[in-house]
Amino acid sequence: MKSAFNPSEVFETGSKAEIIDRIQQLVPPGSPEPQDPEILATLQTLTAQLIAAYQADGQLESEPFSDVRDRTIHLYAPVVSRKIKGKTILITGGEGCVGSFLIEKLLELGATNIISADKARCQNPQETLPHFNREGAVTFYAADIRNFQALKHIFEIEKPDIVFHLAAQRQPGLAEIQIRETVTTSLLGCKHVIQLSEEYGVEHCIFSSTGKTSRYFTTEVYAASKKFAEWQFSKAAQEGDVTYGMVRFTHMLENSLFCEQMSKKVEQSKTVNVHAPHRYVTAQNLVEAVHLLLNALVVSVPGKLKFVAVRNLGWPTETLEVALYKILESGKNLPIYFQGLLPGYEEPFFLGQFDWSKPTDIHLLINVLEDPFRIVDDAGDMVTVELAPFSLCVLEKQVSNLESLIGDPDFPEVQIKHALVAAEKEVIASSFAWSSPQDLLKILQWGINPKKLEGYGAEIANYSEIIELLLQGMYGRLNQEVLHSAGITADEFEDLVENLSALDSLQAEVGYLRSISRYLREVALPAQFTQKKPEPVPVLDAA
């Protein structure tokens, strides 16, 4: 019988990087779960060495998310209480983790009539209803938000004054499999909630979104469908009579699939698989989430969509560190290996999402084009932001096209994904057309910086689609004044063009940039404009 795992008895035989490299050589990413006893024994030794290497760096002393669990956000309770007093409040997805806790908090703040509409009730009608202290204060309906008539029935009967729209697909991996359900939930579900909120005179409607929508462009079904949901609510805020608000969440600890799956692997499996090393996750807790939802009632204003997020998310946590901590905590001598990235989690991070001239002010849920709208609340706990502008007409056309396609039950799911991404590109192109060319140029420069990409193990070719969108947004708009305003010298611009020249798919765009570069060389430029500027040193690893 083996003794309990004691990493202090294992001597470190290399750096973290060296040990990780040996694990990947032994079981290359994409390989099936190892079964060979000799390989498993070697993996056990390497895993123990990796734990020791992390401990030598002062890590694994406490649960990696311990600082997140203790955080809170100031709740503007008196104002929220006044807003919900005597109101009928509808929560879609009310039986989920966040929805259930939101109901508890609403009751605590004095709500007397809460309505929950949740698909879970359709799937498990005999399931025990959640228990709340105030009997009769909460009514539960079985309803899928994609079913317009079912949702309309609830609005007709209950006449809600406030709506919290939480119902959604929450698993990025499952979204790549259940494409039709994910897209229809975001597209049709949001449309139904908006239409009925306007029809029945709802006062406030708050939507819960995800930090993944801060990406300018994404090919992942989960994030792309959520972007369309945000755009629809933004359009409704500008055109409708309801006051809309939004919250961007990041990884929810109390509802964490990753943590649940990792704990299950450690408890039940003989091996522990992790997607890949050097993968990081930001997190928040349930109290923060619900306080954000309620505070959104306070900061939302008619005529525009404002969203709120946690101001200080702390440092991202490495998923490998979480796995190693759970192994260490279990006392088992379990081997770890890297299975490779799965659909829904494959997309490389685009460095142009952040303003690297202000690295200490980077926010992981807000991109450069949204950042100018950022406002910190009086308590200093949350930020309020607006979406970057886009064409409402383009959005309406693309949503209509998508509805026609997904309404055909014979239309293949994989084609739904292609149509979703194509439609997303059109809306993003309209947004980039609204953006200043100097902002787009800076985003491009930050996004394809060779030194930074090398540090992240990425290549320019990984970002060809977002690069193409940025270049289209700048086409015909670049000149000496734009470069000067962007703080980019002629030498730096020439380097940028050379870096892009390696992409065969962008030769037409590169040709345009070369013509701009030649023009800059031919005209008399101020001496300070041609001098190379030192590159700012980033202090945040935003992997």
Distance between CA atoms of residues 296 and 308, nearest Å: 7
DSSP lists the bridge partners of residue 209 as: 248
Cα separations (Å) of 46 from 24, 52, 331, 516, 538? 11, 10, 16, 53, 32
Cα 241 to the center of its chain, rounded Å: 29
Distance between CA atoms of residues 485 and 476, nearest Å: 16
Distance between CA atoms of residues 221 and 177, nearest Å: 9
Cα separations (Å) of 461 from 57, 222, 259, 368? 34, 23, 32, 22
**In this predicted model, what pLDDT tens digit does every residue of 185-214 receive, in sequence order?**
999 999 999 999 999 999 999 999 999 999
**How buried is 522 (Cβ within 10 angstroms: 0-12 exposed, 13-18 middle, 19+ buried)?**
exposed
Contact status, residue 206 vs residue 246, Cβ threshold 8 Å: yes
Between the CA atoms of 266, 278, 64 and 20, what dihedral angle is there, to the nearest 10 degrees? Answer: 50
For the chain, the first-to-last Cα distance in angstroms comes to 41
Residue ranges of the chain with per-residue pLDDT less than 70: 1-13, 121-136, 523-543
pLDDT at 540: 34
Instruction: Write the secondary structure of 313-351 as one string of H (helix), E (strand) and C (coil).
Output: CCCCEEHHHHHHHHHHHHCCCCCEEECCCCCCCCCCCCH
Three-state SS at 103: helix
Residues 6+ apart with CB under 8 A from 58: none
Which residue, 11, 194, 161, 178, is CA-closest to 89? 161
Which residue in the block uniquely carries the two structure tokens 């790549």?
A: 176
Between the CA atoms of 110, 111, 112 and 114, what dihedral angle is there, to the nearest 10 degrees? Answer: -160
Contact status, residue 49 vs residue 12, Cβ threshold 8 Å: yes
Question: What are the tokens at 58?
Answer: 């002062």
DSSP lists the bridge partners of residue 117 as: 92, 141
Cα separations (Å) of 167 from 44, 64, 93, 144, 479? 42, 29, 4, 9, 47
pLDDT at 108: 95
Which residue in the block uniquely carries the two structure tokens 């701009």?
A: 516
C-alpha torsion sign, points 349, 353, 355, 358: negative
Residue 276 backbone phi and psi in degrees, to 5: -170, 155
Distance between CA atoms of residues 275 and 250, nearest Å: 19
> How many Cα neighbours within 13 Å face the side chain of 8?
2
Contact status, residue 213 vs residue 190, Cβ threshold 8 Å: no
Instruction: Write the secondary structure of 157-217 as one string of H (helix), E (strand) and C (coil).
Output: HHCCCEEEECCCCCCHHHHCCCHHHHHHHHHHHHHHHHHHHHHCCCCEEEEEEEHHHHCCC
pLDDT at 130: 53
pLDDT at 523: 67
> What number of residues does the chain have?
543
